[in-house]
Structure 1
């Protein structure tokens, strides 16, 4: 026994209580303690059943993340689960909080399972590039069938107690304390003379069209292999005896352990937890924020207001006229109604948010009591400076003044006030009540407690907050501008926008860059190109074909035509032949002889541009750590999580190889393909971006 497992007798029931705060992770001590507890119970005269229950907040939240990447120690989890299931005693698991991954696998090795109403279960291993490796793919299908098991395992989602009950994963939902309820349930089983019920002895699930299911899951995963691998493991539960199925599960698990996808997803897992934790803010208290103001009630402003309402904040939204204020209120109401429909809030909460917590107004003075005000008006420096001058006049001392600008200089905006130390950038991504990324842009004079307040607000809103310094586009849009330029250059040189989109979807992006442009609106980038034209370096190769589309009034999805053609009530678009005509005309005017590109070359150039600009952002101190860049691209720009982010991808590809690509491309365009000094330095030193993460 270990001090992580408490053993006691209650009549003829032995209770094994897991005590490994805060969430009873399955550390080596817990595994050893459970195995020893089973031995003790079986040797304890008169014991007829074992109840396994968790202390504190959860039954078992899953593996101990402190053991990730280290050699596994005995007892291994598969052996523990088999040991529990092989017991001659009746074993009951009483679940509360979360029972995830190995936690659910332990529960599945018991004979019976009960749960609290708010309990949640799941097998989220696919989010780490793996499959359940302790019998989850063999036991779960025997309980709920192959189709439902595949749905649970390949999605990695959490199931509430009612759904788990309906699938047969648990036997009853109980209201009482987990241990008290478990003792009552176990006692009733003994009184009824219930038999042991090992899941391994249940028949395997009925077969499916395994190849069709595999292909469907692989396509849905956009190149992620672990969900599709899970299908093959579940197939083994149908086609093989239990012991052989366990061996096949373990073989697949071990194969996945060696993949770059597993490395990428483990990196993303830890980076997500580290990115919002800044050592320089460790002892800096955030300012109190309970009431916020939002200036501008368009799509972005309404989304920010919605996110704040859903987080329990009071919101005053400022618009220019009563008509636009009412329109903003309607947008917010629609967003909140969507949250109700998705089960995020109750009808009572929705009513209270809209009637008590939200005020839409046209008077600057309405913001006088706000603890923090976020400006979300048109992306124009003169307009933003005028707004901040007004905020400076009406907001109370100590109020944080935030701009949601996507590109503009936060220092210049702050200079429009008498309190630049209170000014910060909070760059949300649209729709702001859905997208998880928040860039916290720290200006030259931003006070530390204002920065801490930005991160505290991000946490309260459920965002992944990333610190950025001030430059045009900050981290995300600066990289976007660069890798999008690489795509434009390939179009000029012979690739089609449609081939590029397809190649990058094959790489794992949800959408290619040209489809994304159609979704965002081609007029946005067009306005930016016009704004930059006067200061643009003559060596910068900028295509004109997209301008021609815009000049004709074609702005993408919102007008029905862009790089693709869109039909009402039809999902997605079809390639616009007009675009090819415009591109060919421009190539002719520029004297460019087009050449062919392979999909692999498209992917390589796109990624090299992204990594190179990421290294420049790091070298300039705009981003503090490579993991910051990775999290921005994953949460804000659709970068495939299983690749870990662009900087992790570069490490796994090999920095010397990436630098060699950039130097080779520089022979064609030395201005664009200027290698980042930091990248050259790392290659010369034989170091990686991960080394910089560890140094931070």
Structure 2
């Protein structure tokens, strides 16, 4: 018997206990132990009912990630679940924490399930490009019916225990905190009432009710938009449909076939890379795990605009009080009204209760005076991208804030060291670059200055976790990681249109790759006036700024979605971009002014120039130590810019394409176009010469 699984008896109940910290993952030792324990329980003449329970903070939370990529050792999970399901004595699963993936599949193999009210269940395999491979697609729909099983399995979303009871996934709830006690009482009631073994595989009423319905075709049609470009959600539908069309054992065979198709898909490799990378970014190279972290119990925010308000919501959502400072009361009132409207919209959708709306609003105070920052632990400046204004603000903060307060800028491009130079405490200054909308987007690009202390770095990474963001620590340069690469892509996208492509052709190449929107649709979303103002400021400063047809759009009041016209036009109440012939004319006139004869441009050239320029820049970012690892760049792009997670991030994707292919194209464009953006990265050159990839760094 494995030491991580034990068997004991309490009265008439045989207790199988899993204790494999931290999450009781279904590794080889657990699987072997479960098989031995159920055999022991079956042979125990004094045990009338068996109870499966887990120690620690959770029930079994799925596969053991330590075994990913290694050959599966027997017994496999389906064999273990069969042993539970075919046990001659009733088996009860007592669920606390989370029962996920293989953990829920094991519970479904038991005959009865009780859960603590605080528990959650789910089958999240689709998020790794897989489908439940141990009977989840066959057993769950026998309890819930087709629609709910399809929703759970194709999204991977968790279901709270009260909803799991309504759906029939669990048989009973317990309001207490002791899963074992709840399980023993429930198991004893089954013994006392002489309830029989009840196998989920034998339940047919839900199968009969949905058999032959149009639900599967309708669900696939809906997925075309929601899961565009993804492989595994459609295989999940095929597997669930098999539960309704085939006998149980044949359905299990079909599930296994579909599972293996997902295993062989390149999307699985990309999603698993994204999954591990998200966990890895919190471990910063060179930053000791035991670096002290400062308490952040109150936060100040400068600016009540879109970014400032969204940032404030992140802290209020987790119970941290916020003070927002603005120069005018009107701006504060407007900002607070937008925050309330956002919360009210969430309440209408059932994401929060009305009581939570009021609790969160009560945590957000407003002020016209920096003096109200004297006791806060962290201040985040979120004003317009203007270095002079930011330095003025940081000089004031330096005077007002207490020693040890962290002074952060939400700048998306500007030099953190120059901002820090306005203070006498550069070690406490850091960049915290939130992405818009800040209350929704998961990425937090934390930017270390040359003097930022390790304590401050560790603290802002911990803050990211507290406010449920994916924090990535990067170095200081213009645009940091994400925007530095985006600027290169944007310049190539503009050049391609100048030379003869259309904005919609460029955008389609990017959306076909898996981005949710293309370069020009993104410009419309962000607002064309943002880039226009920056270019105008640079022109006023005497810089030589290239002419752009985008300036003509801004001068005509075509500022993007907010004016229902930008590069595209937008119908009332719709965010869908519509091609506008007026813009084609503006572009044609611009080409004539500039003496450009348009040419035919292939989709392949667009892909290469938009993507390979990013990869070359990413390699330079790694060379310079702005990003410590290729995976840091991947995570920034997946969570900040919508790079398709199933492609693993731009640097992972580059490895799949082949660095030799990319370098060859970079050299070709360096010869034909020139410019520093096409100067081949020394690191890219080195990796190709050594036959290595970014993943080898």
- Give TM-score, length-normalised by structure 2: 0.95
User: Does 1:267 pair with 2:268?
Assistant: no
Q: Following the alignment from structure 1 to structure 2, what is the Cα–Cα distance between the partners of residues 104 and 602?
A: 45
Q: Following the alignment from structure 1 to structure 2, what is the Cα–Cα distance between the partners of residues 598 and 156?
A: 38
* CA displacement 1:32-80 (0-9 Å, x = unmatched): 1110011111111243321111112111111111111111111111221
* Deviating more after overlay: 592-601 vs 32-41: 592-601
Q: Which of 469, 477, 487 pairs up with 2:483?
A: 477
Equivalent in the alignment of 1:311: 318
Equivalent in the alignment of 2:647: 643
* CA displacement 1:357-407 (0-9 Å, x = unmatched): 332111121111112111111111111111111111111222211111111
1:335 shift after superposition:
3.7
Equivalent in the alignment of 2:196: 195
Equivalent in the alignment of 2:551: 547
1:679 shift after superposition:
0.8
1:6 shift after superposition:
1.8
Q: Following the alignment from structure 1 to structure 2, what is the Cα–Cα distance between the partners of residues 638 and 543?
A: 29
1:535 shift after superposition:
9.5
Contact 1:52-1:91 within 8 A present in 2 as well? yes
Structure 2, unmatched stretches of 5+, are: none
Contact 1:128-1:269 within 8 A present in 2 as well? yes
What are the equivalent positions in structure 2 for 1:43-442 lying under 5 Å apart? 43-176=43-176, 177-203=178-204, 204=207, 205-209=210-214, 210-282=216-288, 283-338=290-345, 340-341=347-348, 346-355=353-362, 357-442=363-448
1:562 shift after superposition:
0.4
* CA displacement 1:494-552 (0-9 Å, x = unmatched): 221112222322221111111111011001122233445589998x9x56221111111
1:334 shift after superposition:
3.1
1:640 shift after superposition:
0.8
Q: Following the alignment from structure 1 to structure 2, what is the Cα–Cα distance between the partners of residues 530 and 365?
A: 34
Please give the secondary structure, in 1, of the residue aligned with 2:61.
coil
Contact 2:126-2:154 within 8 A present in 1 as well? yes
What is the total number of aligned residue pairs between the two structures?
Answer: 689
* Deviating more after overlay: 26-35 vs 274-283: 274-283
User: Does 1:676 pair with 2:681?
Assistant: yes
Q: Following the alignment from structure 2 to structure 1, what is the Cα–Cα distance between the partners of residues 103 and 4?
A: 15
Q: Following the alignment from structure 2 to structure 1, what is the Cα–Cα distance between the partners of residues 441 and 414?
A: 21
Q: Following the alignment from structure 1 to structure 2, what is the Cα–Cα distance between the partners of residues 35 and 543?
A: 71
Q: Following the alignment from structure 1 to structure 2, what is the Cα–Cα distance between the partners of residues 341 and 124?
A: 26
Please give the secondary structure, in 2, of the residue aligned with 1:574.
coil
Q: Following the alignment from structure 2 to structure 1, what is the Cα–Cα distance between the partners of residues 542 and 49?
A: 77
Contact 2:211-2:245 within 8 A present in 1 as well? no
1:102 shift after superposition:
0.4
User: Does 1:7 pair with 2:7?
Assistant: yes
Relative distance call for 1:351 and 1:218 in structure 2 (3 A) is: closer
* Deviating more after overlay: 661-670 vs 425-434: 661-670
Q: Following the alignment from structure 1 to structure 2, what is the Cα–Cα distance between the partners of residues 645 and 402?
A: 27
Q: Following the alignment from structure 1 to structure 2, what is the Cα–Cα distance between the partners of residues 368 and 687?
A: 52
* Deviating more after overlay: 658-667 vs 336-345: 336-345
Contact 2:299-2:378 within 8 A present in 1 as well? yes
1:465 shift after superposition:
0.9
Relative distance call for 1:571 and 1:527 in structure 2 (3 A) is: closer
Q: Following the alignment from structure 2 to structure 1, what is the Cα–Cα distance between the partners of residues 688 and 542?
A: 31
Contact 1:218-1:225 within 8 A present in 2 as well? no
* CA displacement 1:1-40 (0-9 Å, x = unmatched): 2111121112332111111122211111111111001111
Q: Following the alignment from structure 1 to structure 2, what is the Cα–Cα distance between the partners of residues 263 and 608?
A: 21
Q: Following the alignment from structure 1 to structure 2, what is the Cα–Cα distance between the partners of residues 689 and 612?
A: 12
Relative distance call for 1:624 and 1:532 in structure 2 (3 A) is: farther
* CA displacement 1:289-344 (0-9 Å, x = unmatched): 21211111111111111211222222221111222223333333334444555556
Please give the secondary structure, in 1, of the residue aligned with 2:137.
helix
Relative distance call for 1:342 and 1:312 in structure 2 (3 A) is: farther
Q: Following the alignment from structure 2 to structure 1, what is the Cα–Cα distance between the partners of residues 172 and 255?
A: 29
Q: Following the alignment from structure 1 to structure 2, what is the Cα–Cα distance between the partners of residues 521 and 410?
A: 25
* CA displacement 1:634-671 (0-9 Å, x = unmatched): 11101111111000101112111221222233343121
Q: Which of 561, 580, 583 pairs up with 1:576?
A: 580
Please give the secondary structure, in 2, of the residue aligned with 1:565.
coil
Please give the secondary structure, in 2, of the residue aligned with 1:564.
coil
Relative distance call for 1:175 and 1:252 in structure 2 (3 A) is: same
What are the equivalent positions in structure 2 for 1:507-522 lying under 5 Å apart? 507-522=513-528
1:418 shift after superposition:
1.8
Equivalent in the alignment of 1:490: 496
Equivalent in the alignment of 1:690: 695
Please give the secondary structure, in 2, of the residue aligned with 1:61.
coil
Relative distance call for 1:39 and 1:468 in structure 2 (3 A) is: same
Please give the secondary structure, in 2, of the residue aligned with 1:374.
strand
Contact 1:260-1:652 within 8 A present in 2 as well? no
1:432 shift after superposition:
1.5
Equivalent in the alignment of 2:451: 445
What are the equivalent positions in structure 2 for 1:560-599 lying under 5 Å apart? 560-599=564-603
Q: Following the alignment from structure 2 to structure 1, what is the Cα–Cα distance between the partners of residues 25 and 405?
A: 41
Structure 1, unmatched stretches of 5+, are: none
1:346 shift after superposition:
4.9
User: Does 1:621 pair with 2:622?
Assistant: no
Q: Following the alignment from structure 1 to structure 2, what is the Cα–Cα distance between the partners of residues 313 and 53?
A: 36
Contact 2:49-2:190 within 8 A present in 1 as well? no
* Deviating more after overlay: 119-128 vs 577-586: 577-586
Contact 1:488-1:543 within 8 A present in 2 as well? no
Please give the secondary structure, in 2, of the residue aligned with 1:280.
coil
- Give TM-score, length-normalised by structure 1: 0.95
* Deviating more after overlay: 208-217 vs 482-491: 208-217
Please give the secondary structure, in 2, of the residue aligned with 1:411.
helix
Q: Following the alignment from structure 2 to structure 1, what is the Cα–Cα distance between the partners of residues 555 and 143?
A: 61
Contact 2:302-2:325 within 8 A present in 1 as well? yes
Please give the secondary structure, in 1, of the residue aligned with 2:51.
strand
Q: Which of 600, 606, 618 pairs up with 1:602?
A: 606
Contact 2:416-2:430 within 8 A present in 1 as well? yes
Q: Following the alignment from structure 2 to structure 1, what is the Cα–Cα distance between the partners of residues 286 and 341?
A: 40
Contact 2:561-2:575 within 8 A present in 1 as well? no
Please give the secondary structure, in 2, of the residue aligned with 1:182.
helix
Contact 1:222-1:505 within 8 A present in 2 as well? no
Q: Which of 633, 638, 642 pairs up with 1:634?
A: 638
